[in-house]
Amino acid sequence: MLKLYKFTDSKKEYWETWDSGDGSHTVHWGELGTLGTDKTVKSSLIKKAEASIQKEVDNLIAQGFRPIDMKDHFTLLIEYAVNDMGTAEDIEKRHRLQKRMNSLLGWTGLGFCDGGSIGSGTMEVCNFVVDFDLAKSVISGNLADTEFADYTRIFDENADE
Protein backbone atom coordinates (compact mmCIF):
# COMPACT_ATOMS: atom_id res chain seq x y z
CA MET A 1 0.00 0.00 0.00
CA LEU A 2 1.18 3.47 -0.84
CA LYS A 3 -0.28 6.54 0.90
CA LEU A 4 0.51 10.10 -0.13
CA TYR A 5 -0.64 13.37 1.44
CA LYS A 6 -0.62 17.04 0.57
CA PHE A 7 -1.41 19.53 3.33
CA THR A 8 -1.75 23.23 2.53
CA ASP A 9 -3.24 26.09 4.53
CA SER A 10 -6.54 25.68 2.68
CA LYS A 11 -6.80 21.93 2.07
CA LYS A 12 -5.61 18.53 3.27
CA GLU A 13 -5.65 15.77 0.67
CA TYR A 14 -4.81 12.08 0.57
CA TRP A 15 -4.16 9.57 -2.21
CA GLU A 16 -3.52 5.87 -1.77
CA THR A 17 -3.30 2.67 -3.77
CA TRP A 18 -3.09 -1.02 -3.03
CA ASP A 19 -3.02 -4.34 -4.84
CA SER A 20 -6.52 -5.80 -4.64
CA GLY A 21 -5.18 -9.35 -4.91
CA ASP A 22 -7.02 -10.20 -8.13
CA GLY A 23 -4.64 -8.62 -10.61
CA SER A 24 -6.19 -5.18 -10.19
CA HIS A 25 -5.25 -2.23 -8.02
CA THR A 26 -7.50 0.12 -6.06
CA VAL A 27 -6.77 3.85 -6.11
CA HIS A 28 -8.52 5.97 -3.48
CA TRP A 29 -8.26 9.74 -3.00
CA GLY A 30 -10.02 12.73 -1.53
CA GLU A 31 -10.02 15.49 1.04
CA LEU A 32 -8.77 14.24 4.41
CA GLY A 33 -11.65 13.18 6.66
CA THR A 34 -14.03 12.41 3.78
CA LEU A 35 -14.80 9.10 2.10
CA GLY A 36 -13.32 10.36 -1.14
CA THR A 37 -13.44 8.56 -4.46
CA ASP A 38 -11.98 5.26 -5.62
CA LYS A 39 -11.33 3.49 -8.87
CA THR A 40 -10.04 0.13 -9.98
CA VAL A 41 -7.05 0.00 -12.30
CA LYS A 42 -6.59 -3.15 -14.35
CA SER A 43 -3.85 -4.21 -16.71
CA SER A 44 -4.59 -4.32 -20.41
CA LEU A 45 -2.78 -5.90 -23.31
CA ILE A 46 -1.11 -2.56 -23.97
CA LYS A 47 -0.41 -1.24 -20.47
CA LYS A 48 0.22 -2.76 -17.05
CA ALA A 49 -1.78 -1.39 -14.10
CA GLU A 50 1.46 -0.67 -12.25
CA ALA A 51 2.69 1.59 -15.06
CA SER A 52 -0.55 3.60 -15.00
CA ILE A 53 -0.35 3.96 -11.23
CA GLN A 54 3.34 4.94 -11.33
CA LYS A 55 2.55 7.69 -13.82
CA GLU A 56 -0.12 8.99 -11.42
CA VAL A 57 2.29 8.76 -8.45
CA ASP A 58 4.95 10.69 -10.36
CA ASN A 59 2.41 13.41 -11.18
CA LEU A 60 1.26 13.63 -7.54
CA ILE A 61 4.82 13.89 -6.24
CA ALA A 62 5.43 16.70 -8.74
CA GLN A 63 2.36 18.43 -7.19
CA GLY A 64 3.80 18.12 -3.67
CA PHE A 65 2.20 14.92 -2.36
CA ARG A 66 4.42 13.00 0.08
CA PRO A 67 4.16 10.01 2.43
CA ILE A 68 3.86 10.75 6.16
CA ASP A 69 6.38 8.81 8.23
CA MET A 70 4.93 6.65 11.04
CA LYS A 71 6.87 8.70 13.60
CA ASP A 72 4.79 11.71 12.50
CA HIS A 73 1.44 9.97 13.15
CA PHE A 74 -0.55 10.69 16.32
CA THR A 75 -1.50 7.85 18.65
CA LEU A 76 -5.24 8.34 19.15
CA LEU A 77 -6.84 6.19 21.85
CA ILE A 78 -10.55 5.63 22.36
CA GLU A 79 -11.06 4.69 26.01
CA TYR A 80 -13.95 2.92 27.72
CA ALA A 81 -14.57 2.15 31.38
CA VAL A 82 -14.82 -1.57 32.20
CA ASN A 83 -15.13 -3.47 35.44
CA ASP A 84 -11.77 -4.75 36.66
CA MET A 85 -10.18 -6.71 33.78
CA GLY A 86 -13.28 -6.57 31.55
CA THR A 87 -15.53 -9.32 30.28
CA ALA A 88 -15.71 -11.48 27.17
CA GLU A 89 -18.46 -9.13 25.94
CA ASP A 90 -16.11 -6.15 26.42
CA ILE A 91 -13.45 -7.88 24.32
CA GLU A 92 -15.97 -8.67 21.59
CA LYS A 93 -17.07 -5.02 21.61
CA ARG A 94 -13.44 -3.92 21.33
CA HIS A 95 -12.91 -6.21 18.35
CA ARG A 96 -16.01 -4.80 16.61
CA LEU A 97 -14.77 -1.27 17.28
CA GLN A 98 -11.28 -2.07 15.98
CA LYS A 99 -12.78 -3.32 12.72
CA ARG A 100 -15.02 -0.24 12.49
CA MET A 101 -12.11 2.15 13.14
CA ASN A 102 -9.83 0.46 10.63
CA SER A 103 -12.51 0.87 7.97
CA LEU A 104 -13.46 4.43 8.95
CA LEU A 105 -9.91 5.74 9.26
CA GLY A 106 -8.77 3.96 6.11
CA TRP A 107 -11.61 5.15 3.90
CA THR A 108 -11.29 8.75 5.13
CA GLY A 109 -7.51 8.85 4.62
CA LEU A 110 -6.91 9.51 8.31
CA GLY A 111 -4.96 6.41 9.31
CA PHE A 112 -5.59 2.94 10.71
CA CYS A 113 -6.44 0.96 13.84
CA ASP A 114 -3.57 -0.91 15.47
CA GLY A 115 -5.47 -3.06 17.98
CA GLY A 116 -6.33 -2.47 21.58
CA SER A 117 -5.93 -3.43 25.20
CA ILE A 118 -8.06 -4.11 28.25
CA GLY A 119 -7.48 -4.30 31.98
CA SER A 120 -7.33 -2.35 35.25
CA GLY A 121 -10.71 -0.70 34.69
CA THR A 122 -10.26 0.53 31.12
CA MET A 123 -10.39 -0.72 27.56
CA GLU A 124 -8.65 1.15 24.75
CA VAL A 125 -8.59 0.99 20.97
CA CYS A 126 -5.34 2.31 19.51
CA ASN A 127 -5.27 4.21 16.21
CA PHE A 128 -2.47 5.89 14.29
CA VAL A 129 -3.73 9.05 12.55
CA VAL A 130 -2.19 11.85 10.48
CA ASP A 131 -4.42 14.64 11.88
CA PHE A 132 -5.49 14.20 15.49
CA ASP A 133 -8.19 16.90 15.71
CA LEU A 134 -9.87 15.92 12.46
CA ALA A 135 -9.71 12.21 13.31
CA LYS A 136 -11.22 12.85 16.75
CA SER A 137 -14.07 14.80 15.17
CA VAL A 138 -14.74 12.16 12.49
CA ILE A 139 -14.63 9.35 15.07
CA SER A 140 -16.90 11.17 17.54
CA GLY A 141 -19.47 11.72 14.81
CA ASN A 142 -19.23 8.14 13.61
CA LEU A 143 -19.69 6.68 17.11
CA ALA A 144 -22.64 8.89 18.11
CA ASP A 145 -25.86 6.93 18.63
CA THR A 146 -24.11 3.55 18.32
CA GLU A 147 -23.12 0.88 20.82
CA PHE A 148 -19.73 2.62 20.92
CA ALA A 149 -21.01 6.05 22.01
CA ASP A 150 -20.26 5.36 25.70
CA TYR A 151 -16.49 6.02 25.48
CA THR A 152 -14.96 7.94 28.38
CA ARG A 153 -12.52 9.90 26.26
CA ILE A 154 -10.66 10.14 22.97
CA PHE A 155 -7.12 11.33 23.51
CA ASP A 156 -3.60 11.58 22.13
CA GLU A 157 -1.51 9.08 24.05
CA ASN A 158 1.63 11.17 23.58
CA ALA A 159 0.21 14.61 24.41
CA ASP A 160 1.23 16.28 27.62
CA GLU A 161 -1.69 16.22 30.04
pTM, entire model: 0.93
Q: How far is CA 64 from CA 31, 54, 124, in A?
A: 15, 15, 35
3-state secondary structure of 22: coil
Domain ranges, ordered by start, for the chain: 2-62, 71-156
CA atoms within 13 A on the CB side of 125: 26
**Mind giving me the DSSP string for 57-124?**
HHHHHHTT-B---GGGSEEEEEEEE-STT--HHHHHHHHHHHHHHHHHHHHTTSEEEEEEEEETTEEE
What is the spatial distance between Cα 50 and Cα 69, in angstroms, rounded to a whole number?
23
- Specify the CATH number for 71-156; select among 1.10.10, 2.60.40, 3.90.1720, 3.30.310: 3.30.310
Confidence band of 83 (pLDDT split at 50, 70, 90): very high
pLDDT at 157 over 90: yes
Q: Which residues contact 58 (CB under 8 A, 6 or more apart)?
A: none
State pLDDT tens for residues 104-146: 999 999 999 999 999 999 999 999 999 999 999 999 999 999 9
Residue 161's pLDDT is what?
A: 59
Q: How far is CA 37 from the centre of its chain?
A: 15
* Residues 54, 147: Cα–Cα separation, whole Å: 42
Q: Exposed/middle/buried for 105, CB within 10 Å: 0-12, 13-18, 19+?
A: buried
Q: What CATH number was assigned to the domain covering residues 2-62?
A: 2.20.140
Residue pair 102/114 in contact by the 8 Å Cβ criterion: no
Of the two residues 54 and 46, the one the predictor is more confident about is: 54
